[in-house]
Structure 1
Amino acid sequence: MSWVVKETASSVQNAEQFTTMRNTFRLCTLLFYISLSAPCGRAQGLDPAKSISQYSHQVWQTKDGLPQNSVNAIIQDRSGYLWLGTQEGLVRFDGVRFYVVDKKHVPDLESNYVWAIAEGSDSSLWIGTRGGGLLHLKGGKSRAYTTRDGLPSDIVVSLAFDSHDNLWIGTHEGGLTCFTAGDFRTYSTAEGLPSNTAQVLLRDSKERIWIGTGGGGLSCMVDGALSTFNRKQGLGSDIVTALHETRQGLLLIGTTDGVRVMKDGRITPFTVAGRKLAEVVLSIQEDRNGAIWFGMAGGGLVRVWKDRVDRFGTKEGLSDGLVRALFEDREGNLWIGTYGGGLNRFSEARFDSYTRSEGLSHDFILSICEDGQGAMWIGTYEGGLNRLKNGSITQVTTRDGLPMNTITSVCSDRSGAIWIGTNGKGLARLKEGRVTSYASPNDQNDHAVLCMLQDSRGQVWIGSNKGLSRWTGEFLETVNVFGDLPLSPVVALAESRAGHLWIGTDGGGLVRLKNGERTLLTRRDGLANDFVISLYEDGEG
């Protein structure tokens, strides 16, 4: 029978917005980003050295075109399309739009509830359903196989092809069956299968078929012969919920009692740094960079890489904590099918984000500078100063001698010292691990440092709500650039290639300091606005 697909509403790409705030500070951002230089060529996949929250994360739900928010199965076909199994039909996703295959459009489909999907060597699709048996789609034509055709159960929960293109079908309470040349060969408890619910199937690199059962443990099919492993052999639980073979040839076994690993026929608990993963695992995926992802029954995602374990659940932004399906596509993106939260995707972002999750003391950032060794210094609101280098973050706070923890400006000088401007308690310097606070000729109790600059002569200039100062090497010297005019806060500093100092003010216009002489430019001179919050010299000077 011929069939067509129905297009649903297109998904809308999420646009990230950043809010800026102006309150005599130059710039405040909620997230700090460093751009990546992504190499060309083969897709690199997800960098396991990053925290999960640093990946780009997208979610698609019914409002974006999914027919239903339970995603039970995910595959990618030879054409690059993703196919999803949901409770309301089979779905094809091209990255923009969802196309639905359901009973309305494919009369042979007797149930919209899709448990499993597999692609044959001829690029045809096989779909296991709950109550509707098995559906075959090829070249726009469909064919259903049910108990009327010899299928032992119409509830098909797992599918796998062997190397001879035979389709193995796991059913609920009907056992395991092999579909070859139009015939079904069924294995049940009568033939040695420990349970008639074959809920997980896996073909491994040695062409063996592994069967995870719903109460009888784990079985292995080799040349028609079955062998079984259960709690007596160390399985932990006889209810097997997930199977995955690693690139090292280890068999990972998810059960209702956590994860076990089989090596050379021996089953042991899966441990990381001596700790077991003892939660219920519903899905397992090893990505191309060697990180192993576990989909939990309520606990979201667990990622294991080397001796590191990271978690990502609903608190961190996952749309649902019950993860039924995991799949890595050809581009290295990780797709996550959830029970009630729709489809999630992790991909490498064009920017790395650093927040509290990565170790920042606060997400409200007021100032950033880079020192001569390539370390980034990040001033925060009430979180002190952070140093970021090679992904590692350390903090300097009032406990280390800072006069306060709200850092409005940071500057690195050529000696390696870090100058630290605060929002009310003036200036400090960090050098060789020691913090020194400097008195100001102004009242330091309300002295907010807003910008700093070291010029080509090595002089450090400090702009604040008290005007302009210069560090002489021993003390702060006030520099009067306003003459008899009212003092304005200095919020921006820049040195031109000609060696002139340009000073942007909060309401007092723009000042140029050249060889000790000042020139004031305001709206009366053609300046667009007397509030000058940033300065940049272009290629023409």
Structure 2
Amino acid sequence: MKIKTGKELKMPLILILLFAICVNAISAFIKFERFSNKEGFNQNTINAIEEDKYGFLWFGTPNGLIRYDGYDFKSYKYSPSAEQSISHNYITSIHTDSMGILWVGTRDGVNVYIPWLEKFVSVPIDKSIRVSHINSDSKGRVWVCGRNEVFVCKAAKVNGSISFSVSSNLITSDGKISDINEIYFDERSQMFLSAYSGLWRVDYSTEGEDSLPSIKKMISIDSFSNQYINTIREINGIYWVGTDEGLYKSSMEGDRMHIIRKFKFLNEEDEFNENLSISNVFEDHSGDIWVCTLNKGLLRYVPEKESFVKFSFDAKNEESLSNNRINCILQDQYNVLWIGTAQGGISKLDLMQKAFMGYRHNPYDKFSISGNLVTSILEDSRGFLWVSAYGRGISRSQEPVNDENISNLKFENLKARIHLPSKEIILSIYEDRKGYIWIGTNQELVVYNPFVDSFKKVILEKDKKRVNLYQIRVIHQIDENQILIGGNRSVLVSNPWEKIKQDVRLTAEEIGFKNYGIMQCFLIDNRGNYWFGTTTGVYQGIHKDGRLLVSKLSVNQKQGTTLVNNNIFSLMEDELGNIWVGTFGKGLRKIYIDEYGESYLMDQFTENDLLPDDAVYGILQEDKNHLWLSTDMGLGRINTNKKKSIVYDVRDGLAHNNFRQASYFKSKLGYFYFGGLNGLTVFKPSEIKQNEILPQVLITALSVNNKEIKAGENTKGYLS
């Protein structure tokens, strides 16, 4: 996205349900970004993810620790010859404490990374511990657990470095608990241990800020006795317990946990009837609950329905989750989810990604649109969506568009029903006032009769001779009786509907509008004036005595900006009656209209001041102050009052930047459709939100006279 310049709300139930529908609709088009070898990330399995106090991301893998600064990945590995390396390459857990120190758990002990010294230090815990998890309590003490071990540590700054106080193993060898997976503190600072043998609540001493606590009592939670527990999280007073046999939604009363509901399967019709295996439960910054599974991908909880939205790996979709086995998840300060998988690398999900949905041709899906180069779009009065593609015919949605199905429309390919030659390219789709659908191509004209569900190729004639009309880009009903058809020439067809039922021949009358090149767009303004956009500029006309009187646009203005010989792609009238003109190569023009309906002034906007590009293919109005433009460099949202713009491109979730002529439409439900080189883009402008979090600037390296200065190094002699 680029920007260019020139109290608590309580919703009634019905609004909550509508919101849930919209959330699910957008979810179907959420796009994941994958990180693998191509992006410089050289590991397939991620066991842990953490963000440090400076915003760096750290990834723990079976083959080392990796830091990501937003641009590059840097690996840290065990080196027997280096005193300050990590103690083992197999990283199992990462945790940032209250001082900003990064704790790294391995299969052979614990290390910390001291960011202000940029070095690793070993923590004096029994080095044979195979760390499973690291966490902090409310007093900032760090707890480390392993197979049947729990240690508590306290770090302190001493002369710029770090010293440690470390307890002995706090777990007695009574055999009651083994294979501890996780240590967790709830909102009341109660400690829980998730283990192979069940779930345990732990009473521990808390007296003294500087003292190390001891474990006083361990209470087994009967509801989960002898179950394999991977994780537990308290969210708004509800305890979510993740196991190998499903997810439990529970409440806590003393030492008893009451199960409210068990989610054993993703749905009742689960294809393989396989239990959900839960690795993690996570609450994001907005309060949404995400569930990581070891077999079903990533789930988002929908509380209104007590169900889940599923995100999973799809071999046919490069923007899907990279693997269905999720080991870990983290949300960074910029509202991005980082998802660590097994054998699938990293998947990145921007929660602030714009709500752009996309439809593309998929050769493996017979219900996809017919092609990716979209040439024309129509949502008809019954709500069916029509989409034509270059050389691939036309598709129509199988059911009317609504808020519930907008994200998963299925299309029927109508190419075989229309019987157009393979060389014919559909250039326009238009619905007249009686509900007939007119389809214009480079040489043919087809009419769809919705009352009998049939297509008919029609021939235009004058004095029983065929009217050779090419490049039919304009079809428009101008009054109750007449249809304007424009391409390389312009004709009017009067009262065609009865004739269409019985014949293929329609009588056409030319309007005497010649030598304009190709008519490419048409507009009737609120005053009844006609506007024609052609390959040679803009023409104006009036309808008088059944005839069209047309003349070249003449604007009385001093700046010298004209539309003579401009290639016009789009025309639109705003709420104030001004006419906006999209050109190919000359940007956007605004024609001011006076109280008498006369053009008196013209403004010009180009790539140099406001636009993403000077080829403006389509113009749609959001409200009285905002227009959306489709261009060769993405979509532009123009604030016409402040003369500022925001540009959206593939980085914001668009499937492509290159849009196309005549391929835009605004539906009655407020959906905007834009077509281009890589399919159809669909969105509601009100759902496109801006991410206003500004990134912080960090210095990651310092060189003086081409010599790199290490952290803590004396710079005397380098600086004068």
Using the size of structure 1 for normalisation, the TM-score is 0.70
| C-alpha separation in 2, matches of 1:292 and 1:434 | 50
Q: Which runs of 5+ in 2 are unaligned?
A: 2-21, 155-163, 205-214, 500-505, 543-547, 553-563, 572-580, 582-588, 592-601, 603-720
| C-alpha separation in 2, matches of 1:411 and 1:439 | 15
| C-alpha separation in 2, matches of 1:153 and 1:344 | 32
Where do 1:378-457 residues align within 5 Å? 378-379=387-388, 384-386=395-397, 387-390=400-403, 392-393=405-406, 409-411=428-430, 417=435, 419-421=437-439, 426-428=446-448, 440-442=458-460, 451-454=473-476
SS of residue in 1 equivalent to 2:590: coil
CA apart distance, 1:70: 2.2
Taking structure 1 as reference, are residues 425 and 343 closer, same or farther at Cα in structure 2, changes over 3 Å only? same
Where do 1:65-104 residues align within 5 Å? 65-104=40-79
What is the aligned counterpart of 2:262 among 249, 269, 289?
269
Counterpart contact for 1:176–1:188, Cα < 8 Å:
yes
| C-alpha separation in 1, matches of 2:148 and 2:128 | 5
Matched, 1:368 2:377: yes
Counterpart contact for 1:421–1:451, Cα < 8 Å:
no
| C-alpha separation in 2, matches of 1:352 and 1:169 | 43
Matched, 1:339 2:367: no
Matched, 1:280 2:277: yes
**2:188 corresponds to:** 206
CA apart distance, 1:160: 0.9
Q: Which moved more, 1:388-397 or 1:153-162?
A: 388-397
Where do 1:234-245 residues align within 5 Å? 238-245=227-234
What one-letter code is carried by the residue in structure 1 that aligns with 2:189?
Answer: E
**2:521 corresponds to:** 493
Matched, 1:186 2:169: yes
Where do 1:170-181 residues align within 5 Å? 170-171=145-146, 173-180=147-154
Counterpart contact for 1:152–1:174, Cα < 8 Å:
no
**1:6 corresponds to:** none
Where do 1:6-17 residues align within 5 Å? none
Using the size of structure 2 for normalisation, the TM-score is 0.54
**1:539 corresponds to:** 590
Taking structure 1 as reference, are residues 410 and 113 closer, same or farther at Cα in structure 2, changes over 3 Å only? same
Counterpart contact for 2:109–2:127, Cα < 8 Å:
no
CA apart distance, 1:355: 2.5
What one-letter code is carried by the residue in structure 2 that aligns with 1:312?
Answer: S
Taking structure 1 as reference, are residues 483 and 139 closer, same or farther at Cα in structure 2, changes over 3 Å only? closer
| C-alpha separation in 1, matches of 2:472 and 2:404 | 27
**1:221 corresponds to:** 202
| C-alpha separation in 2, matches of 1:81 and 1:161 | 20
SS of residue in 2 equivalent to 1:54: coil
Matched, 1:300 2:297: yes
What one-letter code is carried by the residue in structure 1 that aligns with 2:248?
Answer: R
CA apart distance, 1:111: 1.0
Taking structure 1 as reference, are residues 67 and 310 closer, same or farther at Cα in structure 2, changes over 3 Å only? closer
SS of residue in 2 equivalent to 1:238: coil
| C-alpha separation in 2, matches of 1:252 and 1:410 | 54
Q: Which runs of 5+ in 1 are unaligned?
A: 1-12, 14-46, 521-525
What one-letter code is carried by the residue in structure 2 that aligns with 1:493?
Answer: C
CA apart distance, 1:438: 6.3
Q: Deviations along 1:70-116, whole A, 9 cap, x unmatched?
A: 22111222332222212333233232222333335763411122111
**2:310 corresponds to:** 310
**2:143 corresponds to:** 168
Q: Deviations along 1:38-85, whole A, 9 cap, x unmatched?
A: xxxxxxxxx844444523432222332334232211122233222221
CA apart distance, 1:129: 0.9
Counterpart contact for 1:118–1:160, Cα < 8 Å:
yes
SS of residue in 2 equivalent to 1:63: helix
SS of residue in 1 equivalent to 2:38: helix
Counterpart contact for 2:27–2:309, Cα < 8 Å:
no
Where do 1:45-56 residues align within 5 Å? 48-56=23-31
Q: Deviations along 1:201-228, whole A, 9 cap, x unmatched?
A: 2221121222221x21222213332122
| C-alpha separation in 1, matches of 2:39 and 2:524 | 50
What is the aligned counterpart of 1:126 among 96, 100, 103?
103
Matched, 1:502 2:532: yes
| C-alpha separation in 2, matches of 1:286 and 1:275 | 27
Counterpart contact for 1:336–1:345, Cα < 8 Å:
yes
What one-letter code is carried by the residue in structure 1 that aligns with 2:263?
Answer: F
| C-alpha separation in 2, matches of 1:69 and 1:322 | 12
Counterpart contact for 1:409–1:421, Cα < 8 Å:
yes
| C-alpha separation in 2, matches of 1:462 and 1:395 | 31
What one-letter code is carried by the residue in structure 1 that aligns with 2:167?
Answer: F
SS of residue in 2 equivalent to 1:241: strand
What one-letter code is carried by the residue in structure 2 that aligns with 1:238?
Answer: Q
Question: 1 or 2 for the larger relative contact order (CA 8 Å, sep ≥6)?
Answer: 1
| C-alpha separation in 2, matches of 1:397 and 1:404 | 15
CA apart distance, 1:333: 1.7
Counterpart contact for 1:326–1:336, Cα < 8 Å:
yes
Taking structure 1 as reference, are residues 360 and 62 closer, same or farther at Cα in structure 2, changes over 3 Å only? closer
Counterpart contact for 1:133–1:153, Cα < 8 Å:
no
CA apart distance, 1:338: 1.6
| C-alpha separation in 1, matches of 2:478 and 2:440 | 24
Q: Deviations along 1:203-262, whole A, 9 cap, x unmatched?
A: 21121222221x2122221333212236xx357x7222333333343223232x222232
| C-alpha separation in 2, matches of 1:217 and 1:74 | 25
Q: Percent identity?
A: 18
**1:43 corresponds to:** none
| C-alpha separation in 1, matches of 2:308 and 2:494 | 46
Taking structure 1 as reference, are residues 78 and 273 closer, same or farther at Cα in structure 2, changes over 3 Å only? same
What is the aligned counterpart of 1:260 among 248, 265, 269?
248
Taking structure 1 as reference, are residues 340 and 190 closer, same or farther at Cα in structure 2, changes over 3 Å only? same
Counterpart contact for 1:89–1:100, Cα < 8 Å:
yes
Taking structure 1 as reference, are residues 344 and 439 closer, same or farther at Cα in structure 2, changes over 3 Å only? closer
CA-based RMSD: 4.6
**2:608 corresponds to:** none
Where do 1:455-534 residues align within 5 Å? 460-463=483-486, 470=493, 472=495, 474=497, 477-480=507-510, 492-495=520-523, 499-500=529-530, 502=532, 514=541, 516=548, 534=569
Taking structure 1 as reference, are residues 219 and 427 closer, same or farther at Cα in structure 2, changes over 3 Å only? same
**1:330 corresponds to:** 333
CA apart distance, 1:385: 2.4
| C-alpha separation in 2, matches of 1:153 and 1:90 | 19
| C-alpha separation in 1, matches of 2:394 and 2:198 | 52
Counterpart contact for 1:384–1:404, Cα < 8 Å:
no
| C-alpha separation in 1, matches of 2:219 and 2:470 | 75
**2:36 corresponds to:** 61
Counterpart contact for 1:73–1:325, Cα < 8 Å:
yes
Taking structure 1 as reference, are residues 320 and 251 closer, same or farther at Cα in structure 2, changes over 3 Å only? closer
Size of the alignment, in residue pairs? Answer: 470
| C-alpha separation in 2, matches of 1:266 and 1:286 | 21
Counterpart contact for 1:409–1:449, Cα < 8 Å:
no
